[in-house]
Amino acid sequence: MRERVWLSRAMHLGFYLLLAASVSRLVSRHGMDARTVAALAVCGLLALVYAAGVVFWGGPGRGRLVWLGTVVAVWLVLVVLAPSFSWCAVPLLFLCLRSLPPRGFLLATAVLTLVVIAAQLKIAQEVDPSLILAPIGVATMIAVIFWELQRESAARQRLIDDLVSTQGTLADSEYRTGVLEERERLAREIHDTLAQGLTSMGLLLQAADRMWAADPDLARAHVRRAALAAADNLDEARRFVRDLQPPGLEGVSLPEALARLCERAGHDTGLEVRFRHEGERRPLAPEVQAALLRVAQGALANVRDHSRAGRAMVTLSYLDDEVTLDVFDDGAGFAEPAPAPGRGYGLRAMRDRLAEVNGSLAVESALGEGTAVAATVPAGRSPAAPRPAGGTRAGDRGAMAPRAGDAAAPRAGDGDVAADGTGGR
């Protein structure tokens, strides 16, 4: 850590300044006699050994302990020759704290303090209690301060390690969430495009097979429609892999795309599928239009696969503050949504799509009375932050029965588009 580096540099600088101060005091007090020369030689050795340790043994390990022991031993010899070097014990305490375990540090502190007291008593002209108490007080303060700094540094390092670990966990979680969201998107797209297209192709080819001997022309027409459905499916697959807008919305408005969808659904299934729009059209965000179109596709697929209906009505309504899409069929209905084994993804996919654009889905059905599916999204602005997916079930939206005559006799002038299918209904 940066604070620890600067603290170490300050202690190293302090050690050499104390050596220089002690050398100056020694030379000024005793001159250059034999004892002074010996002390200066030992001082030079201590400076070299200390510098070597700073350069080569900066980290923990056996080499650092050997170096610390050598520095302390040379210092003890120097203090015996010249007691004024005893105050170099202060930076040595810092080295002991950095290199030794707590018990070793306490023992080293006691030894260094005793050496300083003995040195001060040796050079003092008269014995004074301060010569004993002052080194003890200084050693205690230095030890406590250094120990606290070491503890805070260790605590900060643990906090940083925890933060790094948490960031790694969060990154993994975000990655897994992204993977799940992409799987969910692909599942919805496959359900709304490839699965429905394959079902349509299967129905058309089965019809062609049944009619091949009796009416070859009609059978060939079914095969051609199956080929067109295959081409459309291929185009859809390429687009949802690139996460592009559905092709049904290219160059046309949402009402026009829904009208075409209803017409195609009627031709492919033989149902009477009608489309109606109400209210004044207004621009919608592309993702809102795509969600409503996909919901209509899913709802009509459910009508085709499960309802045994003869007629269906799709109504797009522009209200003051919202846009609604209602899909009603006159089929068998159900008491509770109970999907067949291996099925049942459709309603959940619709709710998830609408939740992404801040919309909701409601379903009403009763046995023998058909089914109504209603999608609602805010109008006049881009979608807000997605709220948790999961729309309402039957009865959640209040009375949602179809308007009188929706499936059987649409009102004139409402923009109806009939898709009467090949069955002649």
Instruction: State pLDDT tens for residues 271-287.
Output: 899 999 898 888 888 88
Could you give the CA distance from residue 21 to residue 71 in angstroms, rounded to a whole number? Answer: 18
Tell me what pLDDT residue 418 has.
39
State both tokens at 208: 């062609």
User: How far apart are the C-alpha atoms of 205 and 217, rounded to whole Å?
Assistant: 13
Q: Which of 71, 103, 127 is the last residue of a domain?
A: 127
Co-location of 412 and 263 in the same domain: yes
Q: How much of the chain is helix, strand and coil, in % rounded to 5?
A: 65, 10, 25
Structural domain total, the chain: 2
Question: In terms of residue numbers, what domain contains 348?
Answer: 256-419
Q: What is the pLDDT of residue 182?
A: 67
> Which range among 49-53, 101-105, 237-241, 316-320 shows the weakest confidence by mean pLDDT?
237-241
Q: Return the closest-CA partner of residue 117 out of 101, 137, 102.
A: 137
Give, rounded to a whole angstrom, the gap between the first and last alpha carbons of the chain: 81
Mean pLDDT, range 43-52, rounded to an integer: 89
Residue 224 belongs to some domain of the structure: no
Residue 285's CATH number = 3.30.565.10
What percentage of the chain carries pLDDT values higher than 90?
11
d(CA 274, CA 291): 20
Predicted pLDDT of residue 191: 67
Environment class of residue 166 by beta-carbon count within 10 Å: exposed (0-12), middle (13-18) or buried (19+)? exposed
Query: Would you call 241 exposed, middle or buried from its count of C-beta atoms within 10 A (0-12, 13-18, 19+)?
Result: exposed
Lookup: tokens for 12: 């190293």
Domain membership flag for residue 57: yes
Residue with tokens 């050596």: 19
The answer on 267 and 415 residing in a single domain is yes
Is 70 exceeded by the pLDDT of residue 265?
A: yes
19-25: which pairs have CB atoms within 8 A and are 24 or more residues apart?
Answer: 19/43, 19/46, 19/47, 19/85, 19/88, 22/82, 22/84, 22/85, 22/87, 22/88, 25/84
The one-letter code for the residue type at 152 is E
Q: Which residue has the higher pLDDT, 421 or 80?
A: 80
pLDDT of 343 over the 50 cut = no
* Model pLDDT, residue 274: 92
The whole-number pLDDT of residue 372 equals: 92
Residue 237 inside a domain? The answer is no
What mean pLDDT comes out for the span 290-301? 88
In a domain, 251, yes or no: no
- Inform me whether the pLDDT recorded for 41 exceeds 70: yes
The top-scoring range by mean pLDDT among 195-199, 207-211, 231-235, 343-347 is 207-211
Give the residue from 127, 156, 175 where a domain finishes: 127
Residue-by-residue DSSP string for 179-237: HHHHHHHHHHHIIIIIIHHHHHHHHHHHHHHHHTTT-HHHHHHHHHHHHHHHHHHHHHH
Query: Which of residues 226 and 357 earns the better pLDDT score?
Result: 357
- C-beta of residue 261 within 8 angstroms of C-beta of residue 289: no
The structure tokens listed for 274 are 């009608």
Confidence (pLDDT) at 240: 63
C-alpha span between 39 and 163 (Å, rounded): 51
Which of these three, 77, 95, 127, is where a domain ends?
127
In a domain, 192, yes or no: no
- For residue 363 the two structure tokens come to 């379903």
- Is there a domain that residue 218 lies in? no
Interior angle at CA 149, CA 143 and CA 152, nearest 5: 135
* 106 falls within a domain: yes
208 occurs within a structural domain = no
Dihedral sign from CA coordinates of 382, 387, 393, 397: negative
Output Rg (C-alpha) for the chain, integer angstroms: 43
State pLDDT tens for residues 111-147: 888 888 888 888 777 777 877 888 888 778 877 877 7
User: What integer pLDDT is reported at residue 206 of this predicted model?
Assistant: 84
Name the pLDDT band for 380 (thresholds 50, 70, 90). low
> Phi/psi of residue 377, each to 5°?
-135, 150
Residue with tokens 């160059």: 251
